[in-house]
């Protein structure tokens, strides 16, 4: 069954609403780990709208499971990652105007830069994932660039309804198979919630699910511990009986 990586960006979003010290994403990461999260994900954005440099530095020391840093392909971020040494980096496209990451990286369009970045990060002992749309050319480019993982963008699936959702699920399944065939490991994320996560957890080859907004939103009502446990239960309930 896929492992759950909890994205805690939106804990920092609330803190930054007042530029104060609470709620602290570092504390939230600890609670998420105690509740069973298998990893902690943060996106250090260029505009520092939620996660701050200090958060990533402290999380590097305190996270006991696995720290996954989402970042754009910029010199500043590459330098930051090499200094902090998260366990994993996920390269994402970024634009200042977007509310959240909108699409996968155009891995083919930045192949040289991406290959060079991946080589630098891997030389620093960091595993690298590339966040891509579930498209063959993006998977091929990620493989060519030397990525360890692709993270398949589940946003179109999450936003689709009825037959369109089934089609998006099929596209993710085909992509997971193809990425695996090319020697890539496969993660998935974006827009996943308590209602739509199970079919994704049942896809072949998926190792990690990155889930943020749904868990942090629910935590306002039920607490973070319960919100993480409920998501883990959903993922486990998607497992065939011998794996649960
Ligand atoms: N994966 C990536 C690459 C992302 O950029 C995000 C959003 O930060 C997520 C997963 C989590 O998305 P959500 O907050 O919708 O669960």
Does this model's pTM top 0.85? My answer is yes
Residue-wise pLDDT for 9-30, tens only, equals 999 999 999 999 999 999 999 9
Among 73, 212, 219, say which to mutate for ligand 1: greatest number of ligand atoms within 8 Å of CB: 212
Q: Is residue 42 scored above 60 in pLDDT? A: yes
Among 100, 155, 172, say which to mutate for ligand 1: greatest number of ligand atoms within 8 Å of CB: 100
Cα Rg, the chain, nearest whole Å: 17
CA of 7 to the centre of ligand 1 (A): 7
Q: Which two tokens stand for residue 154?
A: 């589940």
Residue-wise pLDDT for 108-142, tens only, equals 999 999 999 999 999 999 999 999 999 999 999 99
Structure confidence at residue 88 as a pLDDT band (50, 70, 90): very high
* Rounded distance between C-alpha atoms, residue 51 and residue 80, angstroms: 13
Protein residue with its CA nearest to atom 4 in ligand 1: 190
Name the one residue in this structure whose structure tokens are 């963008």. Answer: 153
Q: What is the pLDDT of residue 15?
A: 98
Q: What is the pLDDT of residue 243?
A: 64
Average pLDDT for residues 42-62, to the nearest whole number? 97
The topology (CATH level 3) of 3-238 is TIM Barrel (3.20.20)
Spatial neighbors of 158 by CB under 8 A, at least 6 apart, are 190, 191, 192, 193, 196
Percentage, residues of the chain above pLDDT 70: 98
Structure confidence at residue 61 as a pLDDT band (50, 70, 90): very high
Mean pLDDT of the residues in the chain: 96
Q: Which two tokens stand for residue 108?
A: 């083919």
In ligand 1, which atom is closest to the CA atom of 151? 3
Nearest to residue 203, comparing CAs of 182, 183, 178? Answer: 178
In ligand 1, which atom is closest to the CA atom of 70? 3
Residue-wise pLDDT for 155-167, tens only, equals 999 999 999 999 9
Structure confidence at residue 55 as a pLDDT band (50, 70, 90): very high
Protein residue with its CA nearest to atom 3 in ligand 1: 131
- Catalytic site positions: 43, 70, 190
Nearest to residue 199, comparing CAs of 226, 172, 217, 180? Answer: 172
Q: Is residue 143 scored above 80 in pLDDT? A: yes
Q: What is the pLDDT of residue 95?
A: 74
* Rounded distance between C-alpha atoms, residue 91 and residue 104, angstroms: 9
Among 104, 210, 216, 234, say which to mutate for ligand 1: greatest number of ligand atoms within 8 Å of CB: 210
Q: Is residue 94 scored above 90 in pLDDT? A: no
- The domain locations on the chain are 3-238
Q: What is the pLDDT of residue 206?
A: 97
Q: Is residue 244 scored above 60 in pLDDT? A: no
Protein residue with its CA nearest to atom 11 in ligand 1: 190
Q: Is residue 149 scored above 80 in pLDDT? A: yes
Written as one string, the DSSP assignment of the chain is -PEEEEE-HHHHHHHHTTTSS-S-HHHHHHHHHHTT-SEEEEE--TT-SS--HHHHHHHHHH-SS-EEEEE-S-HHHHHHHHHH--SEEEE----TT-SS--S---TTTTHHHHHHHHHHHHHTT-EEEEEE-S-HHHHHHHHHHT-SEEEEE-HHHHH--HHHHHHHHHHHHHHHHHHHHTT-EEEEESS--TTTHHHHHTSTTEEEEEE-HHHHHHHHHH-HHHHHHHHHHHHHHTS-TTT-
Protein residue with its CA nearest to atom 12 in ligand 1: 190
Which of 59-63, 67-71, 101-105, 174-178 is the least confident region? Answer: 101-105
Structure confidence at residue 242 as a pLDDT band (50, 70, 90): low
Q: Which residues line ligand 1 (CB under 6 A)?
A: 7, 9, 43, 70, 90, 92, 100-101, 131, 151, 189-192, 210-214
């Amino acid at each position: 069954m896929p492992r759950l990586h909890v994205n805690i960006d939106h804990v920092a979003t609330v803190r930054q609403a007042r530029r104060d010290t609470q709620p602290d994403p570092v504390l939230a990461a600890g609670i998420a780990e105690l509740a069973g999260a298998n990893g902690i994900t943060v996106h250090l954005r260029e505009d520092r709208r939620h996660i701050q440099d200090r958060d990533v530095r402290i999380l590097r020391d305190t996270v006991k499971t696995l720290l996954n840093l989402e970042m754009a392909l910029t010199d500043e971020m590459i330098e930051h990652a090499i200094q902090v040494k998260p366990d994993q980096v996920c390269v994402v496209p970024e634009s200042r105007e977007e509310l959240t990451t909108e699409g996968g990286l155009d891995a083919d369009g930045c192949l040289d830069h991406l290959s060079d970045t991946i080589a630098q990060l891997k030389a620093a002992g960091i595993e690298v994932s590339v966040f891509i749309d579930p498209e063959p050319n993006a998977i091929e480019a990620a493989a060519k660039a030397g990525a360890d993982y692709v993270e398949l963008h589940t946003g179109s699936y999450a936003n689709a309804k009825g037959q369109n959702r089934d089609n998006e699920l099929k596209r993710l399944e085909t992509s997971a198979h193809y990425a695996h065939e090319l020697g890539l490991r496969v993660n998935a994320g974006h827009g996943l919630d308590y209602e739509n996560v199970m079919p994704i957890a049942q896809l072949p080859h998926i190792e990690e699910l990155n889930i943020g907004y749904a868990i942090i939103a629910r935590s306002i009502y039920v607490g973070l511990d319960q919100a993480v446990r409920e998501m883990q239960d959903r993922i486990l309930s998607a497992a065939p009986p011998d794996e649960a």
